[in-house]
Structure 1
Amino acid sequence: MNRWDRAGRVAAYGAALALTPYLLIKVSWVVGSLLGLLPVGTGFGKVEWVVLNSATIGMAGVGITVALALVRPWGMRIPAARLAFCSWVGTGFLVPVLPYAVLSSLLGSADGSPKSGSDAGPSTPAWEAALIQIGFVGMGVGLAVALPAYLRRRWPHAFTGRLGDGGEGSPRVPPWMVVIGAAVGLIWLYWAVGGTVGVAHRGERDLDWHVLSGVFGLWALVASAATWAAVRGRPARVPRWGPMVLAWLGSGSLFAWSGWKLPFTLYLAIAQPADAVLPEELALAAVLHLAAVGAGAAMLKALVRTRLASSNP
């Protein structure tokens, strides 16, 4: 076993271990709310709260399974497309927000009140909030190390070569996906720096909202630029792994986070609960999330097509 495989093994087991407390916390929230021992989240009824946290339990279970699949022998027998998709969504969820997690912790330390993040429940104790944060950061860092090691082991030729070696520049790859991705990213960045057009509730904008809007906006631009470079083969002779990795993470961020936020945006637009609002106009937010999901999925398809073409010039 070489050093890459050893690092990947440690990272994968560490990722699974880091996310396990999060899974147990979410199970306790569901059981506690059903038994009337814990309150439900603001803006949710009991049914909605149980469904929400049951979904996150399933997501955490999938994340732990994916992390173990990257190092266990049975992981090599999982269909490639299925494991790649789950890994793409998982890394899209976690890796792009690592800068936010670090910044959020620093900001929390500065004012003496730890930031629990958007996934915190009602009256979340500080130790639970810390475990949730550790789970996200640990899984993100673990996947960032374990996934490349797995790809190197299962597909030795993945992400090799340089742009322009062959297969790129196919006219069948439409440019609309990078245009839409860039447009969505620019709107998010505009909001992050204080823009008010499209913002319905200006008083609801806090520091976390600004930082997250900036992080997602930057990753949308990175995804657009990196995908364009990967599929067009420009600039030539740049190592292919760089644009491919950035496009993988950025497109996953577009798809995963907007796919997660879109149902909640639609729920708020339809149910209109009085105690839960978003800063942005709901119709515009829904359109942006739908566009981001479509662009992210199209980018992944383009990357896969480009990779196959460059492997079979």
Structure 2
Amino acid sequence: MERWDRIGRTAAYGAAAALVPYLVIKVTWVVGSLLGLLPVARGFSRGGWLVLNTVTIGMAAAGITLGLALVRPWGMRIPGRLVGFLAWVGSGFLVSILPFVLLTALAGSGSASSASAGSTGSSGHDVAMPGWEAVLLQCSFVGTGIGLAVALPVYLWRRWPHALRRPECPGGRATPGPLWSAVTAAVTGLAWLYWAAGGLLGITHGDERPAGWHILVGVSACWALAAAAAIAALVRRRPSRLPHPLLLALAWLGSGSMFAWSGWRLPATVYVAVAHPSDVVYPENVAVAVALHATAVLTGAGIIRTLARGDRDPASAPVAGRRPADRSA
């Protein structure tokens, strides 16, 4: 485990460092827009553009802090629920971004910087940027995703070693909880998969579906179906043949993807449904999209609650007053 501990710590530093270029670029956009040196993206007011990029600056800062929290001694003192929530949401975003970057690069249809535009249709929000900026943005996402994918399990094992072990529950469920989240995750995933494959039911503007939209919706569908299968295997009475840590990882990542991406899209979709802006066109029927995103958010939250419930094992709880070992320098 000592070797993996060193690898995890290196990966955590790498994840934090990878987001620095993204943070610098976003700060440059905000400062340049305020000084009138850089243009505002089409379809945005100056205020809206500044708010959007300020939010992404905050997300980047949170990502850097999370990467450092996984390796520095003070990270072991942060409340576990806060670290877990940030890691869950962050990994949920990244596990969809990484396949999106790879597939769009192979298809030549876009980049990671157009992920939100690809998920919402033709809204005129694309920003002309130098090629080197697009490369740095992609490297930031990819580097952070790979780093967190390695560092997070090592951190979890270091802080809560019992969480990754298969619980001993003869004759009972490995993870107590209802099956409704598996059903709703499967329904949502199948609906997204149908759209990604070109289905027209629930689609209002079929000609507003670029290749990037199909890819991102398809990736989201795959993670939703993975979460459905994993949580169904965890809560059923018969033990699964798949490794318990693998099922936990699929449920964790799939539910995080559903919660993070639909939580990001839901407010924008509600705004379009209510305000009907003339410069934003969604491929999906906005009422159907709102229903699916709301279902995905609730399902993601339900799955992670089931996982947290299953982790409350009194026999494996840490001894009161004992602090987890940390060999950080």
TM over 0.5: same fold?
yes
Q: Does 1:225 align with 2:229?
A: yes
- 1:114–1:126: 8 Å Cα contact kept in structure 2? no
Per-residue CA deviations over 1:96-149 (Å, capped at 9, x if unaligned) read 4322221122223xx8x8674336852121111111111111111111000001
- 1:163–1:240: 8 Å Cα contact kept in structure 2? no
Q: In the alignment, what sits opposite 1:152?
A: 157
Q: In the alignment, what sits opposite 1:62?
A: 62
- 1:42–1:276: 8 Å Cα contact kept in structure 2? no
Structure 1 residue 175, shift from structure 2 partner: 2.0
Q: Distance in 1 between matches of 2:172 and 2:48?
A: 47
* Candidates 96, 99, 115, aligned match of 1:118: 115
* Candidates 273, 276, 280, aligned match of 1:272: 276
Give the 3 Å change call, closer, same or farther, for CA 146–107 of structure 1 in structure 2: same
- 1:162–1:236: 8 Å Cα contact kept in structure 2? no
Q: Secondary structure at the match of 1:197?
A: coil
- 2:234–2:240: 8 Å Cα contact kept in structure 1? no
- 2:175–2:309: 8 Å Cα contact kept in structure 1? no
Q: In the alignment, what sits opposite 1:36?
A: 36
Q: Does 1:260 align with 2:260?
A: no
Q: How does 1:167-246 map to 2 (within 5 A)?
A: 168=173, 173-236=177-240, 238-246=242-250
Per-residue CA deviations over 1:228-271 (Å, capped at 9, x if unaligned) read 21122544454311110100000000000000111111222233
Q: Does 1:128 align with 2:133?
A: yes
Structure 1 residue 93, shift from structure 2 partner: 0.7
- Which stretches in structure 1 are left out of the alignment for 5+ residues? none
TM-score by length of 2: 0.87
Structure 1 residue 311, shift from structure 2 partner: 5.4
Give the 3 Å change call, closer, same or farther, for CA 5–38 of structure 1 in structure 2: same
RMSD of aligned Cα (Å)? 2.3
Q: In the alignment, what sits opposite 1:5?
A: 5
Give the 3 Å change call, closer, same or farther, for CA 311–221 of structure 1 in structure 2: farther
- Code of the residue aligned with 2:136 in structure 1: it is L
Q: Does 1:285 align with 2:289?
A: yes
Q: In the alignment, what sits opposite 2:15?
A: 15
- Which stretches in structure 2 are left out of the alignment for 5+ residues? 117-124, 318-329
Name the count of aligned residue pairs. 309
Q: Secondary structure at the match of 2:13?
A: helix
Give aligned-pair identity as a percent: 55
TM-score by length of 1: 0.92
* Candidates 152, 161, 168, aligned match of 2:166: 161
Q: Does 1:249 align with 2:253?
A: yes
Q: Does 1:102 align with 2:99?
A: no
